[in-house]
Amino acid sequence: MQPLTPHTLDIVVVPRSKEGKTGEALNGGVLLCVPAKSHNPDGAAKLIDFFVSDDDAIKAMGIQRGLPPSDKALNLLLPTFDAAGKRDVTYGQYVAQQAAKDGLPNAPTAPPGYKDVKTALDNAAKQIAFGKTTIADGVSQFFSDAKTALANAK
């Protein structure tokens, strides 16, 4: 987001709870995975291994799919990051340390209907932001779309 504004952006840590636990959780960004019913699980696993262990693939992917997936990737990429990229990595490492210290599990997977509700929210926000609808109508449309999405979730 930094290139989109002349103002300096920074990352703020979510406040800790009264019990002293972090409000953060680890989430794998855009994950590479092999379906359980894959017709070629070995080939898929080799492709994923290529993305996380081959120097050229690591450089090509950069941090497009999240923080570096291995120490090798981190060591290879860190010298190439600008200040914002280094800040992102430092923040991710901090969250990982705090979540481990607090014994927190990784973030759960999204519940059924999440994608459609998120899309409904994005659509409403854009309609409001670009003056295509009023706030009240956008909110009403969002709730209508979200109810439908959740009712149809499997």
C-beta neighbour count of 95 within 10 angstroms: 20
Q: Is residue 106 part of a domain?
A: no
* pLDDT higher than threshold 90 for residue 143: yes
pLDDT at 42: 95
Using CA atoms, how far residue 125 sits from 3, 14, 45, in Å, is 22, 24, 39
* 99 within 8 A of 26, measured Cβ to Cβ: yes
Residues 77 and 141 in one domain: no
Distance separating alpha carbons of residues 35 and 78, to the nearest angstrom: 31
How many domains in the chain? 2
Residues 88 and 126 in one domain: no
Residues 139 and 74 in one domain: no
Distance separating alpha carbons of residues 70 and 26, to the nearest angstrom: 15
* Banded model confidence at residue 29, pLDDT cuts 50, 70, 90: low
Q: pLDDT tens, 47-66?
A: 989 988 899 999 998 887 77
C-beta neighbour count of 84 within 10 angstroms: 15
Higher-pLDDT residue of 114 and 12 is 114
Residues 87 and 16 in one domain: yes
The pLDDT mean for the chain works out to 87
Q: Is residue 143 part of a domain?
A: yes
